[in-house]
Amino acid sequence: MTEFNNGEKAVEMGQTDAPVAPVPKKSMHESEAAALKYSYKITPHFYEKDVPKEQHDRPTNRRKSMRYTWPSFFPIAFALQFKKLVNIFYLITGILNFFPAIQVNSPIAVILPTCMIMLLGVVKEFVGEYKRYKDDKMVNATPVMRMAMPGAPEYTTSGGKIEWTKTCLADLRVGDIIKIDDREQVAADCVLLQVKDNKPEAFVKTAALDGERNLKPKLADKELSENFDKLFGPKIDQSKVNLTVSCIPPTKELYYFEGRLKACLPGNPEFKQNITLNQFLHRGSYIENSGHVIAMVVYTGTESKLIMNLGKYVYKMSSFEKILNRIMIFNLLLAIFIALITAIFTTIWTGNHETHEYIYYEYDSGAEYLIAFFRVYLIVNSFVPLDLLAMLEISKLMFTPIM
């Protein structure tokens, strides 16, 4: 026997010592590869006692589009007002007016109106935040039909049929089986299980997601649809889980989904179905021309594709505010230029007349230059009047509720 570096052994063949090609390593079994890829395990809540802890720990389906918490609202909202250069400009102007040597106006007359303008901006932000709060409350209370749990009162008169109970969107969990009628919005990311009358396909409208108004078909497996009523209901043995789904972890890719569904069907106890985007129902899409569909929730809340694609909130300035900032920068540069020229000529003129002690008792060229610069700067900085800014903030506050 001779041993190769890779650990494989060759067999002696008669008098020759020719090595045998090393045996290739076995590739990973398909089921092992799928187990690694489809690491997101989902058990229907119909089998409550068999639902793993990881599934219980997944995010709630409650929508929260509010940008602030109530304690942090006012500090953050005030800080955001300094993104507007006009507010910084006049606040600095008010502070400079506190120095008697360069004062040209009452500092209160500048700072107080500026603070009022900033307060109007905060009130506008509060109105928008309160509107988002009411919208969230309305969306979270949206009624959804969920499969009744074993032992529910609905089953007392069901005659062995599957019954449905009304819940709200915010209470949906991963693993819930829901029923969605035509023209209803899909409340969470789901996998299609059955279409009314065991139709082979359903249709969804995803205009809210990608802007496409054309209906998209979603395919239901015929064998699973025909035997769905035998998987759930009051007469089903709860000690055995008849259906599970394994899929990829949540991703923000709208057009990518893979998974595998396993079920114990009559006559086919090892039923398997590869599920793709053709069986995936996006949260925010609408069911159309299908009667109703039955689906199982796979992603909720912040893990759903719609919410993941919304991204984090970034304070956005209107086009007008951006233009106003550019105008403000131009006016600031112009004011500095005028103040520099005036300060230079003031220093030259004062230097030529420094002997007039009855006019200039104590002369300091450096101090005189700075005093002249800031005085002229404070005089010419009224290129953007405060009353114009106040009118702009009042107008935005008045039109916010109707936008």
The per-residue pLDDT for range 210-251, each reduced to its tens digit, is 888 899 999 999 989 888 888 886 677 666 788 899 999 999
Distance CA 197, CA 183 (A): 18
> Same domain, yes or no, for 169 and 98?
no
Q: Which of 118-122, 178-182, 366-370 has the highest average model confidence (pLDDT)? A: 178-182
- Place 137 in a pLDDT band, splitting at 50, 70 and 90: very high
> Same domain, yes or no, for 121 and 226?
no
Is the pLDDT reported for residue 196 higher than 70? yes
How many Å separate Cα 165 from the centre of its chain?
30
Distance CA 68, CA 76 (A): 8
Asked whether residue 56 is domain-assigned, the answer is no
Question: Can you state the angle between helices 85-96 and 107-140, rounded to 10 degrees?
Answer: 150
Q: 3-class DSSP state for residue 3?
A: strand
30-46 average pLDDT score: 71
Q: Which of 82-96, 170-184, 238-252 has the highest average model confidence (pLDDT)? A: 170-184
pLDDT recorded at residue 21 = 37
> Same domain, yes or no, for 380 and 287?
no
Range of the domain at 79: 73-135+317-402
Residue ending a domain, choose from 257, 276, 310: 310
pLDDT recorded at residue 231 = 83
CA distances from 289 to 182, 199, 292, 297, 395 (A): 6, 11, 8, 21, 45
59-67 average pLDDT score: 89
248-275 average pLDDT score: 89
> Same domain, yes or no, for 159 and 292?
yes
> Same domain, yes or no, for 102 and 117?
yes
- Position with higher pLDDT, 39 vs 79: 79
One-letter amino acid for residue 193 of the chain: L
> Same domain, yes or no, for 297 and 386?
no
What single-letter DSSP state applies at residue 264?
E
The per-residue pLDDT for range 3-26, each reduced to its tens digit, is 333 333 333 333 334 333 343 444
Asked whether residue 58 is domain-assigned, the answer is no
Asked whether residue 10 is domain-assigned, the answer is no
Is the pLDDT reported for residue 181 higher than 70? yes
| CATH assignment at residue 225 | 2.70.150.10
Is the pLDDT reported for residue 59 higher than 80? yes
Asked whether residue 102 is domain-assigned, the answer is yes
| 161-175, 179-193, 247-261, 372-386: least confidently modelled range | 372-386
> Same domain, yes or no, for 297 and 182?
yes
Is the pLDDT reported for residue 260 higher than 70? yes
Distance CA 299, CA 61 (A): 9
The per-residue pLDDT for range 90-132, each reduced to its tens digit, is 888 888 888 888 888 888 888 888 888 888 888 888 888 899 9
Residue ending a domain, choose from 255, 288, 310: 310
Asked whether residue 39 is domain-assigned, the answer is no
43-55 average pLDDT score: 84
Domain count, the chain: 2
> Same domain, yes or no, for 231 and 252?
yes
User: Tokens at residue 41, please?
Assistant: 């395990």
Is the pLDDT reported for residue 370 higher than 50? yes
- Place 356 in a pLDDT band, splitting at 50, 70 and 90: low
DSSP H helix total and E strand total for the chain: 11, 15
Percent of the chain clearing pLDDT 70 (strictly above): 78
pLDDT recorded at residue 366 = 62
Is the pLDDT reported for residue 50 higher than 70? yes
- Place 374 in a pLDDT band, splitting at 50, 70 and 90: confident
> Using CA of residue 257, residue 255, residue 296, residue 303, what is the dihedral sign?
positive
21-42 average pLDDT score: 56
350-358 average pLDDT score: 60
Asked whether residue 397 is domain-assigned, the answer is yes
What single string gives the DSSP state of each residue in 132-194?
Answer: HHHHHHHHHT-EEEEEPPTT-GGGGGSTT---EEEEEGGG--TT-EEEEETTPBP-SEEEEEE
> Same domain, yes or no, for 391 and 251?
no
Q: Who contacts 134 (Cβ-Cβ below 8 Å, separation ≥6)?
A: none
Q: Who contacts 53 (Cβ-Cβ below 8 Å, separation ≥6)?
A: none
Phi-psi region of 300 (alpha: psi -120 to 50; beta: other; left: phi over 0): beta
Distance CA 133, CA 344 (A): 57
> Same domain, yes or no, for 124 and 230?
no
> Same domain, yes or no, for 387 and 251?
no
Distance CA 208, CA 339 (A): 54
- Place 28 in a pLDDT band, splitting at 50, 70 and 90: very low
CA distances from 148 to 53, 155, 217, 348 (A): 21, 8, 28, 91
What single-letter DSSP state applies at residue 131?
H
Mean pLDDT, all residues of the chain: 80
Question: Can you state the angle between helices 365-380 and 85-96, rounded to 10 degrees?
Answer: 130
Contact 246, 263 (CB under 8 A): no
Distance CA 105, CA 103 (A): 6
pLDDT recorded at residue 303 = 92
Asked whether residue 299 is domain-assigned, the answer is yes
- Position with higher pLDDT, 349 vs 400: 349
pLDDT recorded at residue 157 = 59
Residue ending a domain, choose from 287, 310, 333: 310
Contact 81, 125 (CB under 8 A): no
> Same domain, yes or no, for 164 and 213?
yes
Asked whether residue 255 is domain-assigned, the answer is yes
343-358 average pLDDT score: 69
